[in-house]
Amino acid sequence: MNTLYRVYLEIVLSTLWFLRRIISVDGRIYAFLNAPMFQPYLAGVGRMRAHAAFLKAQATCPAYAQFLQAEGYRPQGKWRLADLPVMTKENYVKRYSIEQRCYGGAIPRAGVVIDESSGSTGQPNNWIRSAAERDDVKRILQLNYQLVFRDSGKILLNCFALGPWATGMNVSMSLVDVGILKSIGPDKIKLINTLKLFGPGYQYLIFGYPPFIRSFVDESDLDLSLYHIDFIVGGEGLSEGLRTHLLQKSSSVVSSYGASDLEINIGVETPTTVNLRRLLLDRPALCRELFGRDTPPMIFQYNALDYVIETNADGELLITIGRQSGAAPKIRYNIRDSGGTYTFRNLAARLAAHKVDLAALAGRTSRFPILFVYGRNDSSVPFYGAKVFPSDIEQILSFTPALQSAVSTFQLAVSEDQHLTSHLHLHLERSLNSQHTLPDAIQLHSEIFEGLKRVNQDFREVSRLFEPNQLMIQLHEHDTGPFHGRDIRIKNKYIA
């Protein structure tokens, strides 16, 4: 590394050290940093930070140095993040060992936690988290908690999967200092017993995957109206229909965005993004203009100081973590999530052209940039050129009351018969102890088929190319068929 780069790196690291100290001292100062005037500066420092992460990875990470060579990277004058090759599981994670992917070519000897992904889209992978990296994640989670909920003293009930999976253990390790924590895991009986034991005199913050939280609300024998409960969900998308359903028994439902490959809590929902998403449900044309589809994506806000987020030609997110505290670099990493970003100012300008004031959608408004996510591109099924996403089915179920209450979960699959005719299969699992009955087979098929045409424009366009009976719907009793023995500790599997 030449002298100029060493000086540059020192300036960047000094600036970041100063900002980190500011942010660590007081959440109110952190809130001050999300003012409009600071956003271009934070984004600029974030890009400098990404450059510093690249220089460190190139010099000290064996896998990354080999990766640059294998991908044919050649510096072209002024450094640009966009010139670097894109990391994926296929070309990076599976090609190099865990040790090679660490700085220095070895796993740090102390303070390390090894996380495992859920394997919801294939073989689980393992990820090394250094002590400094976990401290950074802890800081971010605590600040987000304080900014959203302000007070301490809540009982925090962590119902994410515990063990090697990333989210559950990180939530427990990070939030033990800000409230009264109990790590329960996805166990409805223990959750209910805990609420009975401590009673409605406390305020509760319950963390978990959306399907688990829904099953708890639907199956609990407690009168939840007596309790003050807020839900924090993550791990998969949350439909507005499900949010509305959960809000009948809670004060708020907030979702966060992250990935085991990268880190948890990259983006978080705010009152502004939730209200925008709800507004777009009734304005499909505006939604398509802004986000490319008729139904709104998950919408979050994120700190450009920590993350540089790009979108490739296929509409997939490329995420660079600028902090160098991690055990391994994450530079232009593609987790196959479909989405994109806006600066707050740019999105506000586009909405203003339609007489929508983004800043007025909520009482407290952050000017941090906007991140929108439709879901994992490799968690979809192709059918006559259209991609059918689990979020499409979730949208249909959530806004059809009879279906929402009677169906626990679902799986999608595509097959081809002996005549080379393609079929789209939807497996539905009945809810446990549901008092609601599903429509008859003809009505159910119509609800799903017309719903897909409504929420997925590509499906609507190609629906003229095949017969409606090529959508095949199969009902299964609870815990039978493809749903038998599924592990409730990890995320639902939606692709059969």
Contacts of 176 (CB under 8 A, 6+ apart): none
CB 450 within 8 A of CB 444: no
Q: Within a domain: residue 315?
A: no
Residues in Cβ contact with 145 at an 8 Å cutoff, skipping those fewer than 6 apart: 175, 178
Domain extent for 426: 381-483
Maximum mean pLDDT: which of 144-148, 183-187, 205-209, 273-277: 273-277
Burial class (CB in 10 A: 0-12, 13-18, 19+), 248: exposed
Is residue 106 domain-resident? no
Does any domain span residue 452? yes
pLDDT on residue 308: 96
Residue 398, domain member (yes or no): yes
Residue 98 makes CB contacts below 8 A (sequence gap 6+) with 107, 126, 128
**Domain assignment present for 330:** no
List Cβ neighbours of 489 (8 Å cut-off, separation of 6 or more): 161, 162, 163, 165, 185, 186
Encode pLDDT of 150-168 as tens digits.
666 789 899 987 766 666 6
| Mean pLDDT, residues 405-427 | 84
Residue 467 domain-assigned? yes
Examine the pLDDT at 335 and tell me if it is beyond 60.
yes
Instruction: Give the pLDDT score at 33.
Output: 66
- CA terminus-to-terminus distance, the chain: 49
- Is residue 125 very low, low, confident or very high in pLDDT (cuts 50, 70, 90)? confident
Q: For 148, phi and psi rounded to 5 degrees?
A: -85, -45
Q: How many structural domains comprise the chain?
A: 1
- CATH code for the domain of 426: 3.30.300
CA distance 279 to 281: 6
Higher pLDDT, 450 or 124: 450
> What is the structure's pLDDT at 166?
63
Q: What is the pLDDT of residues 10-30, one digit of tens each?
A: 555 555 555 555 444 444 555
- 313 has a pLDDT exceeding 60: yes
401: in domain: yes
pLDDT at 56: 93
Q: Would you say 39 and 304 are in contact if contact means Cβ atoms under 8 Å apart?
A: yes
Average pLDDT over residues 125-130: 81
Task: Report which of residues 65 and 264 the model is more confident about.
Answer: 65
Best CA proximity match to 89, nearest among 46, 121, 44, 57:
121
Three-state secondary structure call for residue 108? coil
Tokens 């913050």 map to which residue? 205
How does strand 155-158 pair with strand 126-129?
unpaired
Higher pLDDT, 198 or 37: 198
Q: What pLDDT was estimated at residue 488?
A: 58
Average pLDDT of span 371-391: 80
Look up tokens 């119902």; give the residue. 159
Sign of the four-CA dihedral 117, 120, 121, 123: positive
The answer as to whether 438 is a domain residue is yes
pLDDT tens string 211-265: 789 889 988 889 999 999 999 998 777 888 888 889 999 999 999 898 878 888 8
Give me the residues paired with residue 318 across strands.
310, 334
Q: What residue has token string 């009793």? A: 477
What one-character-per-residue DSSP string does 309-348 give? EEE-TTSEEEEEE--S-SSS---SEEEEEEEEEE-HHHHH
Helix boundaries (H) for 108-159: 131-149
Has residue 354 got a pLDDT over 50?
yes
pLDDT (0 to 100) of residue 13: 54
